[in-house]
Structure 1
Amino acid sequence: MDATWMQWLRGYVAVTIRGQETERLVNEALADGLRLWSIRRTKEGELLGYVVLGDFFRLRPLLKRTGCRVHVRERLGMPFWLQRMRKRVFFAAGLVLFFVGMYLLSSLVWSIDVQGNDKLSEEQILQAAKAEGLYPFQWSFRLEDSSVLSRHLAQKLPGAAWIGVEKRGTHVTIRIVESATPEPKAPLNPRHLVASTDAVVTKVMAESGNPVVRPNMKVKQGDVLISGLLGDAANGKAVVAKGEVKGIVWHEYDIVSPLTRTTKVYTGNKKVIWYGVAGGRGLQVSGFGKIPFAMYERVTEEERAAWRTLKLPFGRMKETIMEVKMQQQTVSVEEAKAEGIEQAKADLLAKVGPGAQVLAENILHEKTDNGKVYLKVFFEVDQSIVKERPLVQMQGD
Structure 2
Amino acid sequence: MNASWMQWTKGIVTIRVRGDAAETLVNRALAAGVQLWSISRTSGGELVCDVTVGDYFRLRPLLKETGCRAHVLGRKGMPFWLVKLEKRLFFGAGLVLFFIGMYLLSSLVWTVDVKGNDKLSEEQILQAAKQEGIYPFQWSFRLQDTDVLSKKLARMLPGAAWVGVEKHGTRITIQVVETTKPETKPLLSPRDLVASTDAVVTDMLAETGRPVVKRNQKVKKGDVLISGLLGDEAHRQAVVAKGTVKGLVWHEYNIVSPLMRQVNVYTGQKSVRWYAVAWGRALKVSGFGKPPFAQYETEKQLEQASWRSWKLPLGRMKETLMEVRTDTVPVSEKDAKAAGLAQARADLIAKGGPGTVIRGENILHENSDNGKVYMKVLFEVEQSIAVERPLVQMQGD
Q: State the TM-score, normalizing by the size of structure 2.
A: 0.90
Other structure's SS at 1:335 match: helix
Tell me whether 1:311 sits opposite 2:311 in the alignment.
Answer: yes
Residue 99 of structure 1 corresponds to which residue in structure 2?
A: 99
Cα gap change, 1:21 to 1:252, in 2 (>3 Å): farther
Q: Distance in 2 between matches of 1:383 and 1:238?
A: 27
User: Counterpart of 1:384 in structure 2: which amino acid?
Assistant: S
Tell me whether 1:202 sits opposite 2:239 in the alignment.
Answer: no
Residue 220 of structure 1 corresponds to which residue in structure 2?
A: 220
Q: Give the Å deviation of 1:198.
A: 0.6
User: Counterpart of 1:357 in structure 2: which amino acid?
Assistant: V
Residue 323 of structure 1 corresponds to which residue in structure 2?
A: 323
TM-superposition CA deviations, 1:7-55 (whole Å, max 9, x none): 2221111222334443443333233222222333444444333211100
TM-superposition CA deviations, 1:277-297 (whole Å, max 9, x none): 222322211222332111111
Q: Distance in 1 between matches of 2:52 and 2:253?
A: 68
Cα gap change, 1:271 to 1:182, in 2 (>3 Å): same
Q: Distance in 1 between matches of 2:146 and 2:297?
A: 35
Q: Distance in 1 between matches of 2:150 and 2:352?
A: 43
Q: Distance in 1 between matches of 2:43 and 2:324?
A: 29
Tell me whether 1:301 sits opposite 2:301 in the alignment.
Answer: yes
Tell me whether 1:139 sits opposite 2:139 in the alignment.
Answer: yes
Q: Distance in 2 between matches of 1:352 and 1:395?
A: 37
Q: Give the Å deviation of 1:242.
A: 1.1
Residue 186 of structure 1 corresponds to which residue in structure 2?
A: 186
Alignment of 1:19-34 (within 5 A): 19-34=19-34
Q: Give the Å deviation of 1:195.
A: 0.8
Q: Distance in 2 between matches of 1:45 and 1:162?
A: 71
CA contact (8 A) 1:85 1:91 kept: yes
Cα gap change, 1:231 to 1:78, in 2 (>3 Å): same
Cα gap change, 1:147 to 1:394, in 2 (>3 Å): farther
User: Counterpart of 1:372 in structure 2: which amino acid?
Assistant: K
TM-superposition CA deviations, 1:88-129 (whole Å, max 9, x none): 334323321221122112111134244554543445423432
User: Counterpart of 1:335 in structure 2: which amino acid?
Assistant: D
> Which structure 2 residue ranges, 5 or more long, are not aligned?
none
Residue 57 of structure 1 corresponds to which residue in structure 2?
A: 57
Q: Give the Å deviation of 1:255.
A: 0.8
Q: Give the Å deviation of 1:232.
A: 1.5
User: Counterpart of 2:342 in structure 1: which amino acid?
Assistant: E
Residue 371 of structure 2 corresponds to which residue in structure 1?
A: 371
User: Counterpart of 2:112 in structure 1: which amino acid?
Assistant: I
Other structure's SS at 2:288 match: coil
Residue 271 of structure 2 corresponds to which residue in structure 1?
A: 271
Other structure's SS at 2:392 match: helix
TM-superposition CA deviations, 1:59-90 (whole Å, max 9, x none): 22332344433221111122222223333334
CA contact (8 A) 1:15 1:48 kept: yes
Q: Which moved more, 1:78-87 or 1:19-28?
A: 19-28
Q: Distance in 1 between matches of 2:30 and 2:139?
A: 47
TM-superposition CA deviations, 1:131-175 (whole Å, max 9, x none): 444233333244455566445433432422454444444333434
Cα gap change, 1:143 to 1:12, in 2 (>3 Å): farther
User: Counterpart of 2:224 in structure 1: which amino acid?
Assistant: V
Q: Distance in 2 between matches of 1:67 and 1:394?
A: 113
Q: Which moved more, 1:289-298 or 1:106-115?
A: 106-115
Q: Give the Å deviation of 1:190.
A: 1.5
Cα gap change, 1:163 to 1:104, in 2 (>3 Å): same
Cα gap change, 1:15 to 1:145, in 2 (>3 Å): farther
Q: Distance in 1 between matches of 2:49 and 2:116?
A: 54
Q: Which moved more, 1:216-225 or 1:309-318?
A: 309-318
User: Counterpart of 1:22 in structure 2: which amino acid?
Assistant: A
Q: Distance in 1 between matches of 2:298 and 2:288?
A: 15
Cα gap change, 1:240 to 1:33, in 2 (>3 Å): same
Residue 283 of structure 1 corresponds to which residue in structure 2?
A: 283
CA contact (8 A) 1:203 1:246 kept: yes
CA contact (8 A) 1:228 1:238 kept: yes
CA contact (8 A) 1:103 1:313 kept: no
Q: Distance in 2 between matches of 1:254 and 1:233?
A: 49
Q: Give the Å deviation of 1:251.
A: 0.3
Cα gap change, 1:111 to 1:356, in 2 (>3 Å): closer
Q: State the TM-score, normalizing by the size of structure 1.
A: 0.90
CA contact (8 A) 1:107 1:279 kept: no
Tell me whether 1:172 sits opposite 2:168 in the alignment.
Answer: no
**Paired residues, number:** 396
**Percent pairwise identity:** 67
Q: Distance in 2 between matches of 1:363 and 1:393?
A: 47
Residue 383 of structure 2 corresponds to which residue in structure 1?
A: 383
Other structure's SS at 1:6 match: helix
Other structure's SS at 1:134 match: coil
TM-superposition CA deviations, 1:343-365 (whole Å, max 9, x none): 11011100011101001100011
Residue 245 of structure 1 corresponds to which residue in structure 2?
A: 245
